[in-house]
Amino acid sequence: MAQRAKAATIKRLAVRAFTLDIWDTVSLYLRREYVMLNILLLAAAAQAVAPAPDKPVSAPAGAVADKPICRRIVETGSFVKGRKICMSREQWARSNQEHRAAAQQVVSDGTGRVSGQ
């Protein structure tokens, strides 16, 4: 008798453990879905709360053009050597245009050298 009761208890515990495993898995799945739903709802609410302004607020045109923009120019082959160059937006645009023109000249010339060298 004791052996039969012991076997029944083991069987009951095994069924209970299997049932708990299934519900734990379902619970984890539902929890993950719940978290994803909350993230989506928060993102949608953030977009609805902060509408885009009708016209952007900007500084006076003269202040933007005169403000220096600093860039760090790193020497090729070195992580340490470099220098900081500060120029206005207009000066950077002119410098970029000159560099593009020089690169285009090297490509179109076909010699691989800037003309005059």
pLDDT number for residue 64: 58
pLDDT number for residue 42: 72
- 34 lies in which domain range? 1-46
Cα–chain center distance at 82: 27
Query: For the chain, what is the domain count?
Result: 2
Q: Is 42 domain-assigned?
A: yes
| Per-residue DSSP letter, 25 | H
Threshold 0.95, pTM exceeds: no
Q: What is the pLDDT of residues 31-90, one digit of tens each?
A: 777 777 777 777 776 666 555 556 655 556 555 557 899 988 888 887 778 888 899 999
The answer to whether residues 3 and 42 belong to one domain is yes
pLDDT number for residue 48: 63
The answer to whether residues 42 and 2 belong to one domain is yes
pLDDT (mean) for 18-23: 61
Q: What is the pLDDT of residues 89-99, one digit of tens each?
A: 999 999 999 98
